[in-house]
């Protein structure tokens, strides 16, 4: 069936603020959906409360509503626009839940809105664990022994029948909230109680824990003609027992025979057909017994675009959300083209001639005291994907992408050798288990013990063992006598020059020179959905070490935009938003744009975004090789957060042009000593501060500065390890603590201005002229990280005198730093005097917020300034200023039940929402204003 022409206007529901379990993958799917529907001539209306999204850009949809994801907002939209259909499958569980709520209230019916992409009954069945179990029984799909409990008593009875270990999974929750494995009876009561409370319908499913079973996921697409294709098979490196969002995953499946895979494929198709009749995407999870029987058991099915489908899209090159949107409006798969080859059919199953490894990124450091063990409830905040021509290469590249201070898996002198610690970690997985498996093999812990404790498939463990064997061979050589074959093998297996340098006891640059001399060069291969069977039109590349290079360099002038790597607290979707706009602005100026990033959840790694996408670690070696290959006129580093920025120094040293603000100016702002000298010269007030390298020095300095003091290590992200101390004991303790965790780091002590008000300004500067795009005032007093504060645009109670000072200081600093591009300055205001806390000459978290609130493309403007194509004076600024916009921080505390909500200088929020109010009499504002001191920790 071709397109349904009765659908002229479609509403897409977004996923709201970023929380654990629902991150920027839904901006990727939402943007794809909007674009996909627009190209069909459909009027697209979009609702999302998250301003830092590409999907809410005015260019993405005809009507954009930055409203809370609530029934009232939907009604408001339906009253204003004639909407023919709603597509609720692109915004995660949040969008589905909202769609169900509206359906229950009869809203869709009242306004004549058709639900497309899924049917409500299908969501009901998959979310209601009891009816899902019954349905699976009917169609003969096996599941783990399980039963639902609606009361505490019922739950106790079931547990008595099943025995331990067992799993508790609350119905209708996100990212496994409240789900847990109970190993012993003693823990059961508490966890059951929590599960029942977390489920919105107060129902939990109890099932027998299939610990150690192999875990797989399939991504499906179905059209109105009931054609079903499997886009991707994903195998979990970590067996059952760890949430798939917290598991290391691999595609294609590595240890699955065709017999078992086809059985699984048949079951998945049967399941999708059984839950309802709809056209769209679907994710199905299975467990397979690791014995001879290879029994397959269905775990769950999600009738919507998911985190895994974003990963599958990036892993295969098949844009699931884009195609699912077309199916939702009536197209059949055989009527659509493969988006990569543009000649073959969309009705097919992608095949890979490479391997991808996804590793989650955790942020446990932000939640001291929390249980860092992984389980059924997702705890990671982001992820990276490595692509290679072998599992080992993909694994090393994924490790290099993580930005956890490692150069890959092993070979960096940071192995753990404490046997007891390793043994504990193998059986109690946390974020570092992968590294500990490596360490354990290296230490000589028997393979059998490792296997027993981890239950990870032998094949994967042997792959890691092989790496260690290779390292032992390499270690026998020095840089002067390492044979070419061995060097080539190490590079093919994904070892970074830095790792090889460690093994050969020499410098990274020596390895680089040596391998270049040997003619061992990175080549680039295409992700093409078809293993090279057909010519591909889409420039989506990854690197490897092989014979042929497929990335042809054009004679066009080009620029590179460095991405922001994995999402983490303090560096999230806002930076991807800026990167995408940087790319688009450079395109407008006639540049060929090259994007480098390794985060599969993002819009920046959508192959439709930049002219060329290199899906590579934002890691020096990979970036340098791409630059050598492409020879761009310059690199944009100020859009990709700290990840990109911290590479500026090395780029500068290697003579690579940094577009916009120079490295020297970036360094000047970051180096506290140099920066305060500058402030002194300019006559700008700042809190008294000092730099120390030991606890003794800190105590001495404290007498000078006076308590309370703000203590923090230099060069960190999101206020990591930042704390306010009020006495010498606390100071000493915290300084020792920092030095223990980050040896040789400098520590900054600032006099903390108690009771001060905080504000921040973002501006665009071309080196001469400055335009302040917005000033935001925080609601909470100074002491809470700006990312965790409610903030209001424009300020709600700063007087003219203060505003004047902020404007003047912003102008002065921007010009003094010779900023070319964006700058963000943070202020503390006390007794009408404005102090500068810090300045960051780069895109900040707040820029997308201001751009959305004032409806002007500031990142686009700033990028054009960076490129030297435009001056500040060339733009006609006309911000839409009406009432106030409140930035609402959003936390994922429910994922860390053992951590108190306590705010301080270290950022803890995972996302943000925007809320517009007309006047300060607004009850929402009044409420948060009255609670402004509630959560400030000591």
Partner 1 sequence: MDKNPAVLVLEDGTVFKGQAIGKIGTTSGEIAFNTGMTGYQEVFTDPSYFKQILIMTTAHIGNYGVHPGEIESDSMKIAGLVTKKFSPGFSRASANGSLQGFMERDAVVGISDIDTRALVRHIRHKGAMNAIISSSELDVEKLKAGLKTVPSMDGLELSSFVTTEKPYLAGNESAGYRVALVDFGVKRNIIRCLVERDCFVKVFPMNTTLAEINQFNPDGIMLSNGPGDPAAMPVAIANVAEMVKSGTPIFGICLGHQILALSQGLKTAKMHNGHRGINHPIKNLLTGKGEITSQNHGFMVTKESIDKNSEIEMTHIHLNDETVAGMCLKNKPVFSVQYHPEASAGPHDSRYLFDQFIANMAEAKMEGRDRKIEKVISKK
290-309 residues near partner 1, rule: CB under 8 A: 290-294
- Of the pair 259, 703, the CB lying nearest partner 1 is at 259
- Of the pair 110, 533, the CB lying nearest partner 1 is at 533
Q: What is the dihedral of CA 841, 852, 617, 908, to 10 degrees?
A: 80
Sole window of 88-96, 353-361, 659-667, 729-737 interacting with partner 1 (rule: CB under 8 A):
353-361
| 898 is a site residue for partner 1 (CB under 8 A) | no
- Candidate residues 40, 349, 667, 838; the one interacting with partner 1 per rule CB under 8 A: 349
- Of the pair 100, 473, the CB lying nearest partner 1 is at 473
Q: What is the DSSP string of 232-262?
A: EEEEESS-TTS-GGGS-EEES-SS--HHHHH
- Candidate residues 6, 59, 160, 257; the one interacting with partner 1 per rule CB under 8 A: 257
| 334 is a site residue for partner 1 (CB under 8 A) | yes
The answer to whether 554 and 592 are in contact (CB under 8 A) is yes
Sole residue written with tokens 């039963």: 147
**Around 872, how many Cα atoms within 13 Å sit in the side-chain half-sphere?**
18
Sole window of 279-287, 387-395, 599-607, 806-814 interacting with partner 1 (rule: CB under 8 A):
387-395
- Candidate residues 447, 534, 689, 929; the one interacting with partner 1 per rule CB under 8 A: 534
Binding mask of the shown chain, residues 232 to 251, with x at each position contacting partner 1 by CB under 8 A: -x------------------
Per-residue exposure over 84-111, b if at least 16 CB sit within 10 Å of its own CB, e if not: bbbbbbbbbbbbbbbbbebbeeebbeeb
- Of the pair 388, 632, the CB lying nearest partner 1 is at 388
- Candidate residues 110, 185, 266, 741; the one interacting with partner 1 per rule CB under 8 A: 266
How many of the chain's residues bind partner 1 (CB under 8 A)? 57
Residue among 612, 548, 579, 664 nearest 848 (CA): 579
Structure tokens at 887: 């930035």
Sole window of 126-134, 256-264, 405-413, 575-583 interacting with partner 1 (rule: CB under 8 A):
256-264
207-236 residues near partner 1, rule: CB under 8 A: 225-227, 229-230, 233
Structure tokens at 757: 């008000």
Instruction: Determine the Cα–Cα distance for residues 45 and 77; give it in Å rounded to an integer.
Output: 9
Instruction: Determine the Cα–Cα distance for residues 506 and 725; give it in Å rounded to an integer.
Output: 43
Structure tokens at 231: 């886009």
Sole window of 91-99, 288-296, 587-595, 795-803 interacting with partner 1 (rule: CB under 8 A):
288-296
Show the CA angle centred on residue 257, arms to residues 253 and 263, nearest 5°.
95
- Candidate residues 80, 273, 469, 871; the one interacting with partner 1 per rule CB under 8 A: 469
Strand partners, 542: 525
863-892 residues near partner 1, rule: CB under 8 A: none
Q: Where are the alpha helices (DSSP H) in 767-830?
A: 800-816
Instruction: Determine the Cα–Cα distance for residues 688 and 709; give it in Å rounded to an integer.
Output: 10
Could you tell me the smallest distance in angstroms from the CB atom of residue 927 to partner 1? Answer: 55
| 471 is a site residue for partner 1 (CB under 8 A) | no
Could you tell me the smallest distance in angstroms from the CB atom of residue 709 to partner 1? Answer: 55
SS3 166: strand
For residue 252, cis peptide bond before it (omega within 30 degrees of 0): yes
How many C-beta neighbours within 10 Å does residue 60 have?
Answer: 22
Could you tell me the smallest distance in angstroms from the CB atom of residue 501 to partner 1? Answer: 24
Binding mask of the shown chain, residues 673 to 702, with x at each position contacting partner 1 by CB under 8 A: ------------------------------
Instruction: Determine the Cα–Cα distance for residues 15 and 89; give it in Å rounded to an integer.
Output: 10
426-465 residues near partner 1, rule: CB under 8 A: 457-459, 462
Q: What is the DSSP string of 319-335?
A: -HHHHHHHHHTT--GGG
564-603 residues near partner 1, rule: CB under 8 A: none
Residue 299 is classified by DSSP as E
- Candidate residues 167, 272, 315, 347; the one interacting with partner 1 per rule CB under 8 A: 347
Strand partners, 763: 772, 823
Task: Order the strands of the 296-302 sheet from edge to edge.
Answer: 296-302, 280-288, 214-222, 228-236, 249-251, 355-361, 382-388
- Candidate residues 13, 18, 96, 253; the one interacting with partner 1 per rule CB under 8 A: 253
Could you tell me the smallest distance in angstroms from the CB atom of residue 921 to partner 1? Answer: 60
| 351 is a site residue for partner 1 (CB under 8 A) | yes
- Of the pair 418, 550, the CB lying nearest partner 1 is at 550
Could you tell me the smallest distance in angstroms from the CB atom of residue 230 to partner 1? Answer: 8
Sole residue written with tokens 């195998």: 235
| 391 is a site residue for partner 1 (CB under 8 A) | yes
Binding site for partner 1 (CB under 8 A): 225-227, 229-230, 233, 252-259, 261-262, 265-266, 290-294, 332-334, 343-345, 347-355, 389-391, 457-459, 462, 469, 525, 530-535, 546-548, 550
């Amino acid at each position: 069936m071709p397109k349904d022409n009765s659908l002229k206007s479609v509403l897409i529901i977004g996923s709201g603020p970023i929380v654990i379990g629902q991150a920027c993958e839904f901006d990727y799917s939402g943007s794809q959906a909007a674009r996909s529907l627009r190209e069909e001539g459909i009027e697209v209306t979009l609702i999302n409360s998250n301003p830092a999204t590409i999907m809410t850009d005015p260019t993405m949809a005809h009507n954009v509503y930055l409203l809370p994801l609530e029934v009232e907002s939907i009604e408001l939209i339906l009253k204003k626009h004639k909407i023919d259909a709603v597509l609720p499958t692109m915004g995660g569980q949040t969008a589905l839940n909202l769609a169900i709520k509206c359906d229950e209230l009869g809203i869709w019916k009242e306004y004549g809105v058709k639900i497309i992409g899924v049917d409500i009954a299908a969501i009901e069945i998959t979310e209601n664990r009891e009816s899902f179990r019954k349905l699976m029984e009917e169609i003969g799909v096996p599941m783990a022994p399980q039963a639902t409990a609606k009361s505490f008593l019922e739950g106790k009875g079931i547990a008595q029948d099943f025995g331990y270990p067992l799993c508790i999974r609350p119905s209708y929750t996100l990212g496994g909230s409240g789900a847990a494995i109970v190993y012993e009876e003693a823990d059961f009561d508490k966890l059951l109680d929590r599960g029942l409370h977390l489920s919105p319908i107060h129902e939990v499913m109890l099932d027998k824990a299939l610990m150690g079973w192999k875990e797989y996921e399939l991504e499906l697409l179905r059209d109105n003609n009931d054609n079903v294709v499997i886009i991707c098979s994903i195998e979990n490196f970590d067996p059952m027992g760890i949430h798939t969002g917290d598991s290391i995953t691999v595609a294609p499946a590595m240890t699955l025979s065709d017999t078992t895979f086809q059985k699984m494929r048949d079951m998945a198709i049967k399941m999708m057909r059984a839950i309802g009749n709809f056209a769209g995407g679907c994710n199905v999870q299975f467990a397979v017994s690791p014995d001879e029987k290879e029994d397959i058991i269905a775990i769950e099915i999600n009738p919507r675009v998911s985190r895994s489908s974003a990963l599958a899209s990036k892993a295969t090159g098949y844009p699931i959300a884009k195609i699912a949107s077309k199916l939702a409006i009536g197209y059949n798969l055989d009527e659509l083209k493969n988006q990569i080859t543009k000649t073959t059919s969309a009705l097919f199953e992608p095949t890979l001639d490479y391997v991808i490894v996804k590793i989650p990124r955790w942020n446990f450091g932000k939640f001291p005291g929390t249980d860092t063990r992984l389980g059924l409830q997702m705890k990671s905040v982001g992820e990276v994907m490595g692509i290679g021509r072998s599992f080992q290469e993909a694994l090393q590249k994924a490790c290099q992408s993580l930005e956890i201070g490692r150069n890959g898996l092993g070979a960096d002198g940071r192995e753990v050798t404490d046997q007891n610690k390793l043994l504990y970690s193998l059986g109690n997985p946390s974020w570092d288990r992968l590294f500990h498996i490596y360490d354990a093999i290296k230490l000589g812990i028997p393979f059998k013990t490792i296997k027993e404790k981890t239950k990870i498939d032998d094949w994967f463990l042997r792959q890691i063992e092989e790496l260690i064997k290779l390292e032992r061979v390499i270690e026998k050589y020095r840089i002067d006598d390492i044979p070419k074959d061995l060097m080539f093998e190490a590079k093919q297996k994904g070892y970074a020059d830095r790792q090889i340098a460690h093994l050969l006891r020499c410098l990274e640059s020596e390895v680089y020179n040596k391998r270049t001399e040997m003619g061992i060069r990175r080549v680039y291969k295409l992700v093409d959905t078809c293993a090279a069977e057909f010519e591909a039109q889409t420039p989506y590349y990854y690197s490897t070490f092989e014979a042929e290079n497929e990335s042809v360099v054009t004679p066009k002038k080009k620029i590179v935009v460095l991405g922001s790597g994995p999402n983490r607290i303090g560096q999230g979707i806002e930076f991807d938003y800026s990167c995408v706009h940087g790319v688009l602005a450079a395109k407008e100026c006639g540049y060929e744009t090259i994007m480098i990033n390794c985060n599969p959840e993002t819009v920046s790694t959508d192959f439709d975004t930049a002219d060329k996408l290199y899906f590579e670690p934002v890691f020096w070696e990979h970036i340098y090789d791409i630059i050598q290959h492409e020879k761009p006129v310059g690199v944009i580093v100020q859009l990709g957060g700290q990840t990109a920025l911290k590479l500026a120094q090395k780029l500068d040293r290697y003579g690579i042009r940094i577009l916009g603000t120079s490295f020297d100016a970036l360094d000047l702002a970051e180096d506290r000593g140099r920066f305060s000298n500058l402030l002194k010269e300019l006559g700008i007030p700042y809190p008294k501060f000092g730099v120390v390298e030991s606890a003794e020095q800190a105590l001495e300095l404290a007498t000078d500065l006076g308590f309370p003091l703000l203590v923090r290590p230099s060069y960190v992200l999101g206020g990591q390890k930042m704390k306010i101390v009020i006495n010498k004991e606390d100071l000493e303790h915290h300084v020792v603590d920092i030095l223990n965790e980050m040896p040789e780091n400098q520590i900054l002590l600032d006099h903390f201005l108690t009771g001060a008000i905080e504000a921040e300004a973002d501006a665009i500067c071309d080196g001469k002229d400055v335009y302040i795009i917005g000033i935001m005032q925080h609601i909470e007093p100074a002491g809470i990280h700006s990312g965790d504060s409610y903030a209001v645009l424009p300020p709600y109670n700063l007087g003219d005198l203060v505003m004047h000072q902020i404007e003047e200081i912003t102008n002065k600093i921007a010009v003094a730093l010779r900023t070319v591009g964006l700058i963000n300055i943070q202020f503390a205001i006390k007794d009408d005097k404005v102090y500068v806390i810090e300045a960051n000459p780069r895109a900040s978290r707040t820029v997308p917020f201001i751009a959305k609130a004032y409806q002007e493309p500031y990142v686009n403007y700033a990028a054009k300034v960076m490129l030297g194509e435009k001056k500040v004076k060339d733009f006609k600024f006309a911000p839409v200023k009406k009432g106030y916009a409140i930035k609402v921080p959003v936390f994922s505390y429910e994922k860390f039940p053992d951590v108190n909500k306590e705010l301080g200088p270290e950022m803890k929020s995972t996302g943000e929402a925007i809320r517009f109010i007309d006047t300060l009499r607004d009850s929402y504002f009044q409420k948060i204003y009255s609670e402004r001191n509630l959560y400030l920790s000591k």
